[in-house]
Chains A and B, each alone.
Chain A
Amino acid sequence: MIILVRKKAAIVGYGETPFSRARADKGEATLSAEQYYAWATELVLENTGLEKSDFDGEGLAVGGSEWPHSEIWSAEVAQNLGISPKLLIRSDHGGMSGVALLIQAVLAVHSGLVEKVLCVAADSPMSLQGPASRPWRYMIDFCRPFGMMGPNSMIAFILQRYLYQYGIKPEHTGKIAVTQRQHASMNPNAYLKTPMKMEDYLNSRMIVDPIRLLDCCILVNGGLAFVVASQKEAKKITDNPVHVLGIGEAHNYLHGSRTRPDVTVTGIKPAAKEAFKMARVRTKDVCFIEPYDDYTIIVLQQLEDLGFCKKGEVGKFVDKTDLSTKGKLPVNTGGGQLSAGQAGMAGGFLHVIEAVRQLRGEGGQRQVPDADVGVVSGMGGLGYAVNLVNNGIVVFGK
């Protein structure tokens, strides 16, 4: 059964702080995650014209953080911000946190429990003071002692397997990196704006074969926020709401077999199927996509799993498709995490906010013409011998 949340809730505003890579250990001025939470909240209140007190008795949705934080974290954020919500939601979905909190906020609004939810996440991974949060136990026990070098090496296994099964060229992953940098050059808040050529991508150093430096996202400090509201409430707040048309999630999705899954297929496949059906939208209706992008290969896999081409055919698809904001299928129109920046555990909020910007016609130089349907994905947690564990899709419309 499909729960119909189509056009039951909307995003009515957003806030995004400048991104920074300042480091405390180099004596540079830095902000903590708590300070970025406060800043993002201030910005989203300015953007929506709401007061902080408007969220007392409403919803507050809080993302996780690499910056050292308490186990009971969302209650600490509520206290730090001085908000007394009726509903308090916490996400620990890593890169999927933005989409996960958005979906939970939509369901909360649809149920009638609250009229609006402030969704906020911030992180300061470049300025850690003290130990970051603990990784998964099997990372400590069965990855690090064996020489695994974090997510860069875990994604490299997936790319290597993809290359073996389907044989794409470096120029295909490169096209994602180059196109998104071009978009970032038109995004005043992107951390990396210097234009990149294919040659630059191909010449970037191998970190973990087959992953190059320019296949990876750029880590930044920052805070991001948006407000979800019921249709009734949305009308009071803005004359330019962005509607949620469809949602879908899939966690620990294993394609084929639990013991020996095909890691070239992601949980975006089942999540998108459900979200598109709910939204009554087909791939041909989609004006742009903001796919989660910790690495270039995951964007290519999603083009297949979202249904824009068949599994194994993404090389041919990107060869013939203009992925720029002026093209047939614009991808990560603000530069994504690859170029705009990944604000640690808050990174997945970026894709949601950029989709809202586009559908409100606030994309500036990078505005996709006549955009009325956009798709956002969130993915989190590279698992043991599998792909990303948390997967979510939201289809937005005007």
Chain B
Amino acid sequence: MSAQQPSGYQKSLPEITPLTKPFWDATKRHELVIQRCAKCEGHQWYPRAICTLCGSRDLKWSKASGKGSIYSFVVIRQVIDNSPAFQSDIPFVLAEVELEEGPRMYAPMVGCKPEDVRIGMKVEVLFEDATDTVAIPKFKLVP
């Protein structure tokens, strides 16, 4: 991917809140964590204040395997106004990954060409350091 220096990172960054901070802290350790309900044991992504399956607020952060398969994907060929810094990445594949734990997550693919990607392919997470507080999870194809 890009060789941008963390201090010069130009792309959109999340607005980190107390709810989402454990997720972003984990990305800096290059770990993918998602919420797991202490009551019904269901997993969910993106982070929320309640378990969307059973309604419990007793949610714990759980380390995901980082493995999954592609449920769907798109090839970004044009940036929009609020995301000009992605211009240098174009074209790039954005995947909807079905994590082994169940939930689906949007994330960019790296190390592959758009024409190499198919639905159902196995993928694995890796991280790109963006700033001192944020690393972006991305996925690569695994044989």
Contacts and interface: CB of A to CB of B under 8 A. Distances in A.
A379 to B, nearest CB: 19
A146 B46 contact: no
Contacts of A145: 11-14, 130, 134, 136
Contact of A149 (B13, B53, B79): B79
B14 A208 contact: no
Contact of B43 (A144, A208, A259): A259
A147 to B, nearest CB: 5
Interface in B16-71: 16, 20, 42-44, 46, 52-53, 71
Given A157-B72, A160-B74, A161-B72, A258 B14 contact: no
A49 interface: no
Contacts of A164: 72, 119
Contacts of B82: 144
Contacts of B52: 258
A266 to B, nearest CB: 16
A143 interface: yes
A206 interface: yes
- Give the interface centre of B11, B89, B106, B114 by most chain A CB atoms within 10 Å: B106
Nearest to B73: A160
Given A140-B15, A141-B15, A160-B119, A146 B76 contact: no
A320 B78 CA distance: 35
A260 B102 CA distance: 7
A260 B101 CA distance: 11
A40 B98 CA distance: 46
A146 B43 CA distance: 21
A207 B91 CA distance: 10
Task: Classify chain A's interface size.
Answer: 20 to 34
A157 B96 CA distance: 8
Contact of B119 (A152, A161, A211): A161
B89 A384 contact: no
Contacts of B42: 259
B129 to A, nearest CB: 13
A260 B45 CA distance: 11
A384 B71 CA distance: 13
B77 interface: yes
A89 B80 CA distance: 33
A50 interface: no
Nearest to A259: B102
A259 B75 contact: no
Given A153-B94, A260-B98, A146 B106 contact: yes
Contact of B20 (A141, A157, A158, A209): A141
A210 B12 CA distance: 24
Interface in B86-122: 86, 89, 92, 94, 96, 98, 102-108, 114, 119
A385 interface: yes
A140 B138 CA distance: 17
Contacts of B107: 146
Contacts of A137: 15
A209 B106 contact: no
Contacts of A209: 74-75, 77, 114
A188 interface: no
A149 B102 CA distance: 25
B71 to A, nearest CB: 7
A156 interface: yes
- Give the interface centre of A146, A147, A208 by most chain B CB atoms within 10 Å: A147
B80 A149 contact: yes
- Give the interface centre of B12, B20, B72, B96 by most chain A CB atoms within 10 Å: B72
B73 A157 contact: yes
Contacts of A259: 42-44, 53, 102-104
Contacts of B104: 259-260, 385
Contacts of A141: 14-16, 20, 46
Given A141-B20, A157-B73, A208 B78 contact: yes
Interface of A: 137-138, 140-150, 152-153, 156-158, 160-161, 164, 205-211, 258-260, 263, 384-385
